[in-house]
Amino acid sequence: MASCPSWAAFNGSCVYGTWQDGEGRFHLGDIRGLTDIPLPGRGHDIAVSPNGDLAVVFARRPGRFLLTFNPATGEHDDPQWCPVDRHLFGHGVFSHDGAVLFVTENDFETGEGRIAVLDPRDRFRRIDDISSHGVGPHDLLGWPNSDLILVANGGIHTHPETGREKLNLSTMESSLVLLDPRDGNSISSAVLPDALQRLSLRHLDISSNGTVVVGGQWEGENGWPTPLVGVWDGSQPLTLVDAFSPANLAMAGYVGSVALNTAGTTIAATSPVSGVITLWDRESLQARGSTFLPDVCGLCADPDGPDFMVSTGLGMVHKLDGQTAHILESRSHTVDQRLWDNHLVGVA
């Protein structure tokens, strides 16, 4: 970081994230600093339509706004607000054909996780909502070349009256569910062994051939080593990394974001708690490398190459080598104080 290299490699790619500025205001924009869109509250994840001309940023859990923008131009609409009896959980995904948008929500009367189906051509009018087949749905994404969607049920029950307080840790049950949104049926699911009952599966990425990578957060005994990264093929049981491997231990029980590189061969996981990014071989689940990056969280594959893009709450954006996690390029937003938030999204 001694010298700030040229931004050539950043110039082709389009990577978006949200941040908080020095005055506590929230923004959406790209990592090159070309777009800066004010948000009415703290943002979380971003969904991009299949043809790439429409993107939606979601309010952070439990929030109620979403805002649409064109990732190619940075043009944006006014924020829209969901009904007062609903709260967004921060993640969403477009259907394979782009006709509908799925967002994770909560029915806080029953505690059941819901996936709302919204119409992007009609101001995101609610068309339907279906069960997430679990509690506390968080991240979700589309299964490649199909209409199916995959949801990570974090397993943790929250209620708007108590905000983000966790109400059911002793009985929580996290799962991955592959479901058919046309009839709401579960096609298959993956659950955790009893010893990992307090692991909350929260964030997802998927390769073009259908390998799911999941990142978890441990809600059990403080300091107990727990596998935080796993892969799933949609039918067999989850395969998890070695809990006692140094790279897993370094993440201190908490993964904030996961990503596969564009080739689908390497998994990256960030832990803001310990300020570390770890890389894993997708086949062997052996650690490949790790780098200490204070307050790192935002993460996505470099849309233009084999590497990863990461952001930190210290105002840094880095491009990391997809094999070693070494820093290739960095950009500092310390002067204009961009505290980059939990997620980054690449637009190819």
Residues that bind other proteins (CB under 8 A): 1-2, 20, 44, 60-61, 90, 138, 202, 217, 221-225, 244, 246, 249-250, 254, 256, 272-276, 292-297, 312-316, 318, 327, 332, 334, 339-342
Work out the number of other CB atoms within 10 angstroms of the CB of residue 287: 20
What is the rounded distance in angstroms from the CA atom of residue 176 to the CA atom of residue 192? 9
User: Is residue 59 packed enough to be buried (19+ CB in 10 Å), middle (13-18) or exposed (0-12)?
Assistant: buried
Q: Which is nearer to other proteins, 237 or 246 (CB)?
A: 246
Q: What's the alpha-carbon Rg for the chain, to the nearest Å? A: 19
Q: Which is nearer to other proteins, 207 or 226 (CB)?
A: 226
CB of 294 to other proteins, least distance (A): 6
Q: Is-cis flag, bond preceding 193, omega within 30?
A: no
CB of 234 to other proteins, least distance (A): 25
3-state secondary structure of 8: helix
CB of 348 to other proteins, least distance (A): 25
Are 332 and 4 in contact, with CB atoms under 8 Å apart? Answer: yes
Are 84 and 67 in contact, with CB atoms under 8 Å apart? Answer: no
Q: Which is nearer to other proteins, 113 or 210 (CB)?
A: 113
What is the rounded distance in angstroms from the CA atom of residue 205 to the CA atom of residue 6? 29
Q: Which is nearer to other proteins, 83 or 163 (CB)?
A: 163
Q: Which is nearer to other proteins, 295 or 321 (CB)?
A: 295
Are 345 and 328 in contact, with CB atoms under 8 Å apart? Answer: no
3-state secondary structure of 11: helix
CB of 1 to other proteins, least distance (A): 6
CB of 113 to other proteins, least distance (A): 15
Chain-centroid distance, C-alpha 287: 21
CB of 64 to other proteins, least distance (A): 16
Are 152 and 98 in contact, with CB atoms under 8 Å apart? Answer: no
Q: Which is nearer to other proteins, 2 or 122 (CB)?
A: 2
CB of 178 to other proteins, least distance (A): 23
Q: Which is nearer to other proteins, 181 or 225 (CB)?
A: 225
